[in-house]
Amino acid sequence: MAELQFREALRDAMTEEMVRDENVFLMGEEVAEYDGAYKVSQGMLDQFGPKRVIDTPISENGFSGMGIGAAMMGLRPIVEFMTWNFTFVAFDQIISNAAKMRYMSGGQLKVPIVFRGGNGAAGQLAATHNNSTEAFYTNVPGLKVIAPSNPDDAKGLLKSAIRDDDPVLFMESEVMFGMKGEVSDEEDYLLPIGKARIAREGDDITLVAHSKSYWLAMEAAEELAKQGYEATVIDPRTLRPFDTEAVIDSVKQTNRLVIVDECSPYGGIASEVAFRIQSQCFDHLDAPIARVTAKDTPAPYAKNLIEAWMPTVDEVIDASKKALYVN
Amino acid sequence: MADETKNPPRKRAAKKAAPKKTSASNGKAASPQTVPDAADFRMYTEGGHTHESLGLEKDELLEMYRSMMLQRRFEERAAQMYGRQKISGFLHLYIGQEAVSTGTIHALEPTDPIITAYRDHGLGLARGMTANESMAELFGKIDGSSRGKGGSMHFFDVEHHFYGGHGIVGGQIPLAVGLGFAGKYKGTGAVAVGFFGDGAINQGAFHEAANLAALYEIPVLLVCENNGYAMGTSVDRSVSQPDLYKQAYGYNMTGALVDGMDVFTVYHAMRELAKQAREENKPALVEIRTYRYRGHSMSDPQKYRTKEEMEAKKNEDPIIKLKAYLIDHKLADNAQLDAIDDEVKAEVNASVEFAENSPYPPLETMYEDVYVQEDYPFIV
């Protein structure tokens, strides 16, 4: 095991796959000469040259579509978005083209492309730059969506995403790029897409949380433990497809479920998970499923407001206690 | 096919317009310091080609005629079948524009990837899709080119390097640049050709794609099939620069204007422009002026144009023009051409029968072709 930053794990995954397969290339804003807006691709231009590490103009629709066209011809592009906030101008390419090409062509084509970049709120950036976009994209059949919470998963899943023959949306977080963690140094470290990770086991309540929210759930679980309640924490890692079985298995033991999700509450990831669990193991539930999400407003700028807008550890603890019927 | 571009015997052949000394500033008094770089505009509007000047053999000419007839008769039957409710949804006919598809396909290498918008039957058939798979797709049957999942707007024939049939106006233009990018990346020497309508030139996707194509020196021809109307909105009501080819200037690329009612002119222009793209890794914006004789879709009352305009344009019918040429030059007689017509009609009639007899897609095919992954866990 080596201790790596999240960004280094991502870089290692891309580098290994580019060494392995000539058809893999990276493009995006500032990925080459600038060494990456968040230094994820640092040094990659030097290693692979401008043919395979390509700076793009600020044209998300254009370069997303160009990547999809290249993937239709058998290349395996990695398209970096500076953040997922900026993908709204590339929405048509991702939804109308990447997701649906195979279907509309009756299976004649595949689109092996990875779109990746920072997702979710990242501080006092105000409403346009603090979107959690996963619920928009998980809504679209034809896409796969991954949102890892730690460097190890980031590496193993990104490598798998690059090798996957379907379009994969890989969501990172600007505030997690510097996070350090142990990363497997297995030679070809691949994690399966669509499998959750049970991060902590406890009999009293199940917490489900992905990406940044996962760390809130873990902190809440530690605090709950101090108060005598043991939580299972599940990191789904992949949001589409979603490992429903892992949650069902856990809820059958704990009978209680809280979902932590940075998306807006209306139709977010939490809504989908809650629906699946109530419909598939209703008889096992001893309390209504609870969720902790962002507030139902655009993200505000002011420090106190954005802090109140984001899900917090205290909210996760409160929601858990409500589900446990304790106060 | 013989390539005579090295020693062109043509007299009145469309020529490269001399680079314009002055700007696109439309006669504004410009001081020498403000005169921009010369634009590379080319006019392919004069016609006057002969098959000899283009190096086209008789067999290929008859093949072109046959292809144009197939596209025409196929769509006439499709319109009829739409009327009989055998075909649903949208049906956008290409009738009148066949010189564009046919001239282009014959000018390209068969492995050059092409992609277009939703008015896609003509290009698909010209590239080698069969009438059977095409009609079955319109009928929404399992033997359709997309197994009944795409319909009229989403024809694909990847085996023949036809990358679709795309429904969102302008959305396929960045894809075209990607097709060209892949050819350059792999060193295949292929030129990609991306078709779109005059309405699409107002989409941001076009402008982003044009910039990327020129910036990365991608061998791609961005071909605007200007049929005069974006649904019911004419070009001069929707584009600030209605000479669409001139928009190439802003992207530092060749801009070409082509008469799309003459298959020889299209062939000639596309052969020259594809050669340049292939040899110099250069994109170009090609405006091909054409005309659709039918409405935008099947539900279009066509109040935006006059009968007189329609009649005048019918005198320019590219199929009639080619037919007259073949007869005038004694390359074929009426009987031979009639035989081709009959053959095409029979092929189209058979396609209707084929489509009728093909089964509807079994319900389980709904979940096929969504993902390459075979055991994807759908929510059911």
- Given this model, what pLDDT does residue B4 score? 36
Average pLDDT, integer, range A33-51: 97
Domain holding A307, by residue range, is 197-323
Cβ-Cβ contacts under 8 Å, B154 against chain A: 104-105
Task: Find the closest chain B residue to A92 by CA distance.
Answer: B171
- Given this model, what pLDDT does residue B1 score? 37
Residue A253 lies in a domain: yes
Per residue in B67-111, pLDDT tens? 999 999 999 999 999 999 999 999 999 999 999 999 999 999 999
Q: In this structure, are A173 and A213 located in the same domain?
A: no
Residue tagged active-site, from A8, A29, A60, A174: A60
Helix (H, G, I), strand (E, B) or coil at B289: strand
Which CATH number goes with the domain that contains B338?
3.40.50.970
Average pLDDT, integer, range B349-355: 98
Cβ-Cβ contacts under 8 Å, B191 against chain A: none
Q: Is the pLDDT of residue A137 over 70?
A: yes
Residue A191 lies in a domain: no
Q: Is the pLDDT of residue A119 over 70?
A: yes
Compute the mean pLDDT over every residue in chain B, rounded to the nearest whole number. 91
Domain boundary among A161, A183, A205: A183
Closest CA to A199 of A152, A263, A161, A264: A152
Cβ-Cβ contacts under 8 Å, B173 against chain A: 65
Q: What percent of chain A has pLDDT over 70?
A: 100
Which CATH number goes with the domain that contains A179?
3.40.50.970
d(CA B212, CA B64): 34
With bands split at pLDDT 50, 70 and 90, how would you rate the model's confidence at B35? Answer: low
What's the gap in Å between the CA of A169 and the closest CA on chain B?
A: 14
User: With b meaning 16 or more CB within 10 Å and e meaning fewer, what string describes B54-75?
Assistant: bbbeeebbbebbbbbbbbbbbb
What's the gap in Å between the CA of B164 and the closest CA on chain A?
A: 8
Residue B129 lies in a domain: yes
Residue tagged active-site, from A30, A129, A219, A284: A129
Per residue in B183-216, pLDDT tens? 999 999 999 999 999 999 999 999 999 999 999 9
Q: Is the pLDDT of residue A274 over 90?
A: yes
d(CA B313, CA B323): 17
Per residue in A197-223, pLDDT tens? 999 999 999 999 999 999 999 999 999
For every residue of B301-359, DSSP letters joined together read --TTS-HHHHHHHHTT-HHHHHHHHHHHTTS--HHHHHHHHHHHHHHHHHHHHHHHHSP
Residues 157-186 of B with CB under 8 A from A: 157-159, 163-168, 171-183, 185-186
A29 is catalytic: no
Task: Find the closest chain A residue to B164 by CA distance.
Answer: A105
Average pLDDT, integer, range A43-63: 98
For every residue of B224-283, DSSP letters joined together read EEE-SEETTEEHHHH-SS-SGGGGGGGGTSEEEEEETT-HHHHHHHHHHHHHHHHHHT--
Per residue in B255-300, pLDDT tens? 999 999 999 999 999 999 999 999 999 999 999 999 998 888 888 8
d(CA A17, CA A21): 6
Q: Is the pLDDT of residue B22 over 50?
A: no
Check A165 against B373: CB less than 8 A apart.
yes
Rounded to whole angstroms, what are the CA distances from B143 to B151, B314, B359? 12, 35, 8
Q: In this structure, are A21 and A146 located in the same domain?
A: yes
Mutate to test the interface with B, among A22, A108, A248 (most CBs of B within 10 A): A108
Helix (H, G, I), strand (E, B) or coil at A67: helix
Q: What percent of chain B has pLDDT over 70?
A: 90
What's the gap in Å between the CA of A68 and the closest CA on chain B?
A: 6
Q: Is the pLDDT of residue B20 over 80?
A: no
Site of tokens 């961005």? B222
Q: In this structure, are A162 and A291 located in the same domain?
A: no
Check A104 against B154: CB less than 8 A apart.
yes
- Given this model, what pLDDT does residue B23 score? 42
**ipTM more than 0.90?**
yes
Residue A311 lies in a domain: yes
Per residue in A304-322, pLDDT tens? 999 999 999 999 999 999 9
User: Is the bond preceding A241 in cis, omega lying within 30 degrees of 0?
Assistant: yes
Average pLDDT, integer, range A168-192: 97
Domain holding B53, by residue range, is 38-367
Q: How many CB atoms lie within 10 A of CB A312?
A: 16
Which CATH number goes with the domain that contains A317?
3.40.50.920
Check B175 against A107: CB less than 8 A apart.
no
Measured in degrees and rounded to the nearest 5, phi and psi for residue A302 equal -55, 140
Q: Is the pLDDT of residue B26 over 60?
A: no
Count how many pairs of residues, chain A against chain B, have C-beta atoms within 8 Å: 158
d(CA A301, CA B57): 71
